[in-house]
Amino acid sequence: MGFGTFGADAAQAASAPPAAVSTVKIRFTLNGKAEELALDPRVTLLDALRERLHLTGTKKGCDRGQCGACTVLVDGRRVNSCLTLAATVDGAAVTTVEGLAQAKLAAVQAAFIERDAFQCGYCTPGQMMSCVALVDEAKHGMPSAVTADLRPNGPARLTDDEIRERMSGNICRCGCYVNIVAAVRDVAGGSRA
């Protein structure tokens, strides 16, 4: 193939109409309400939430699974929504930070305010979703990488080391970690239940 032919092919590709993108239809529960979307199967859950459903409480930090700002719950388990294709939540129950507060602030939200556990606040929705999930994980006896005794032993005790480890997927650029651990401790210990 000569350069002339290649150039003609490239020009034709650039001017050709984009190939039709097929969509998938998904039905799921979002913060307790039924939701239905038809979307490109390549769309992430994060983009579907923010761009299609206008729930902008879930934040896009790194968009590659490193910061935790996009953490939401899918069937009660925390996931990075930037790494989750929206199509995979078909039939699932998704909870975002908007779903935590109904009539009043959820305990976790009150604890973060009381402990001043943020500065700019960008990572805070993800921090709070992780907090809610980790308290539930501990209640069900799920160990972490720093749990000393891995034998089934009832609910896991959330020491500060455990909290730090279990929150380690959520990065805070302002460095509010001491206050975040205090807020999680309050929620885990029931003082904000």
Q: Give the interface with ligand FES as residue ranges (CB under 6 A).
A: 60-63, 65-70, 80, 82
Single-letter code of the amino acid located at 138: A
Q: Which residue, judged by CB position, is nearest to ligand FES in the bound state?
A: 82
Single-letter code of the amino acid located at 54: H
- Min separation Cβ 79 and ligand FES, Å: 9
Give the residue with the Cβ less far from ligand FES, 60 or 185. 60
- Min separation Cβ 115 and ligand FES, Å: 23
- Min separation Cβ 155 and ligand FES, Å: 28
Q: Is 166 exposed, middle or buried (0-12, 13-18, 19+ CB in 10 A)?
A: buried
- Min separation Cβ 56 and ligand FES, Å: 13
Give the residue with the Cβ less far from ligand FES, 55 or 107. 55
What strands lie across the sheet with 71-74, from one edge to the other?
33-39, 24-30, 93-95, 71-74, 77-80
Give the residue with the Cβ less far from ligand FES, 68 or 99. 68
Handedness of CA 65, 141, 166, 99 (dihedral sign): positive
Nearest one of 191, 59, 70, 181 to 117, comparing CA atoms: 181
Give the residue with the Cβ less far from ligand FES, 67 or 100. 67
- Min separation Cβ 144 and ligand FES, Å: 19
Place of tokens 């602030």: 105
- ∠ CA 35-36-42, nearest 5°, is 115
Q: How many CB atoms lie within 10 A of CB 186?
A: 21
- Min separation Cβ 66 and ligand FES, Å: 5
Give the residue with the Cβ less far from ligand FES, 69 or 107. 69
Q: Hey, is 24 helix, strand or coil?
A: strand
Give the residue with the Cβ less far from ligand FES, 31 or 71. 71
